[in-house]
A and B are shown apart, each in its own frame.
Chain A
């Protein structure tokens, strides 16, 4: 790959990194405010609480998703030449989306949570305006379009270089691989993740267009159960893809620190193809309390959820452990973020499987935010930040300081506190998405809010350090 391309990708990634991490921090702030209100420190009006909750979740998830996509491109730069102008178009769209998200929530009081379960967007009982619902659906459609551009680019470019069946690992599985058709793990995983994302985007585009038609013409009938399936297929996979893109990055970067190779082989190929199937089935666990769903489907939902644990832990987590064991790795901040990120993924994933397996006891309790906050706040985001550290290290020769380590451990403690306080209150049956907690169940929210402030403190450190490190990066055109 040519050096100019590599530097430009690094430069764009650094820029996107700066924008997204600031957005990420800002929208986390709204989450902390929401938690403060649940904990009784402040009192938000319910409609404002739900508006903040929606802004928080879409903003945080969206910025993390965008950030990690840039990090995936960065990690792919030595292997495939992606289209630079597509990247720019995509980030332009995301920028427009952010502005309209702010408008829909802060001006339009839109607050369905990210799930926008039909027909809630159109039946707000007076809480938000009709235009805000339409705008929100439209902006999600733009996200779908932007993500499809970048995922499509990854699949097509990789297929050109390694052939399609090579890029998705089928040649490896069939034993028909040649060196030219064997992609490195980062490519293999990115391609499979992208394909999975493209399928979910088809569902997403379908449901969003249907809902927009309904928005324009309220007489347009839609089946509630069918729409619910589409929404969860779309939403569940989208959130999982963020983590999988992060894992792809780890396959590329962790070996640099361990100074050992992490290569594609048959097992890796099988495991990621299995992961594709598992994620596509596991979305069904969001509908386990919908008894009109056919019983066989419900059993498949639980099966798929257990299945998802296999490729993740057997191949990736153990693979990472073998990679670092007796490797002499220096635990500087970047690899430490990655390693701890994988750990949070394993723990959060384990909790997710329990939630699916015993769903009647946990569905829509705080157990759910408990598990996903762990692997988003201490998993995906850790790997995102690790990559930012890696790039500034590589291009600016930056060394870790005390603040870097303090930021890491403060974030770690805050994130685990935030997640655990959610989880434990879920074990006590506390419902999620309550502007005011059920009487007698506020205690955990109080602690959760305090841990939230630790995360904010850590983020200020991390962002400050990142911006300082950025200044050491040599001008890109030199």
Chain B
């Protein structure tokens, strides 16, 4: 969902920026020797652009912060006791305290025994659901609210060495 939405925004934004550059680049002729006049018109546009950018940024900023799966944010959002799964990673495998997980809120306690890994959860269609880092000495608490039963895969999302790309396993949500 987020991916598709932001991906479309990325494409749309790129097209708009290209359009503006095209418009300005092709409006270089004929020369207007009264630069002061051109500059003033430009600055008027700049002021409007500034406020527009500010408005868009504030909205995106707020949406983004609310959508963070941070423990602080998620603890406020999730109702009821989450099911806890301990995740331990090492080059190049995942160790899960449970591979059958109930529907509803789940808390993954993610850590690593050696280097940095990335704990990425993918759904049955190969879409990235959520992720967190998996780091030695620290525990990342990642909350997920599973609404759909089925098989999920874990893929490593932090480069950890030669077999990084095959560091994967799966679990089932029932």
Contacts and interface: CB of A to CB of B under 8 A. Distances in A.
A364 B29 contact: no
A435 interface: yes
A358 B160 CA distance: 23
A120 interface: yes
Contacts of A302: 61, 64-65
Given A325-B28, A440-B126, A299 B65 contact: yes
Interface in A192-239: 223-225, 228
B10 A50 contact: no
B162 A318 contact: no
A351 interface: yes
B118 A354 contact: no
A298 B70 contact: yes
Given A120-B115, A123-B115, A433-B159, A354 B6 contact: yes
Given A124-B161, A325-B24, A327-B31, A424 B7 contact: yes
B149 to A, nearest CB: 20
Given A328-B30, A364-B158, A343 B38 contact: no
A362 B3 contact: yes
Interface in A354-377: 354, 357-365
Interface string B21-48: 1001101111110010011001101100
Task: From A46, A302, A321, A326, name the one whose CB has the most chain B CB atoms within 10 angstroms.
Answer: A326
A65 interface: no
B126 A290 contact: no
Contacts, number: 228
Nearest to A336: B25
A350 B122 CA distance: 26
Contacts of B20: 321
Contact of B114 (A119, A318, A357, A441): A119
A361 B3 contact: yes
Interface stretch (A21-29, A162-170, A303-311): A303-311
A331 interface: yes
A431 B135 contact: no
Contact of A117 (B53, B69, B116, B132): B116
Interface in A255-292: 260-261, 288-292
A225 B164 contact: no
Interface stretch (B77-85, B98-106, B136-144): B136-144
Contacts of B65: 299, 302
Contacts of B132: 289-291
**B interface residue count range (under 10 / 10 to 19 / 20 to 34 / 35 or more):** 35 or more
A224 B6 contact: no
Contacts of A111: 162
B142 A291 contact: yes
B164 A434 contact: yes
B114 to A, nearest CB: 5
A427 B3 CA distance: 5
B145 interface: no
A441 B168 CA distance: 15
B18 A360 contact: no
B128 interface: yes
Given A224-B136, A324-B28, A326-B27, A431 B120 contact: yes
B67 A358 contact: yes
Contacts of B53: 309-310, 313-314
Given A224-B135, A343-B17, A322 B39 contact: yes
Given A327-B35, A358-B2, 17 more contacts: A46-B163, A50-B162, A119-B115, A123-B161, A224-B135, A291-B71, A292-B139, A302-B64, A309-B53, A321-B42, A322-B39, A326-B32, A342-B21, A347-B13, A358-B67, A360-B68, A364-B157
Interface of B: 2-4, 6-7, 9-10, 13-14, 17-18, 20-21, 24-25, 27-32, 35, 38-39, 42-43, 45-46, 49-50, 53, 57, 60-61, 63-65, 67-72, 91-92, 114-116, 118, 120, 122, 126-128, 130-133, 135-142, 155-166
Closest 10 CB pairs of A and B: A328-B31, A322-B42, A427-B7, A429-B128, A326-B32, A434-B165, A357-B64, A361-B2, A433-B159, A364-B157
20 contacts: A123-B91, A123-B115, A124-B162, A225-B138, A228-B116, A289-B132, A291-B133, A306-B57, A309-B53, A313-B53, A324-B24, A325-B24, A325-B27, A326-B27, A339-B25, A358-B67, A362-B6, A428-B127, A429-B128, A438-B165
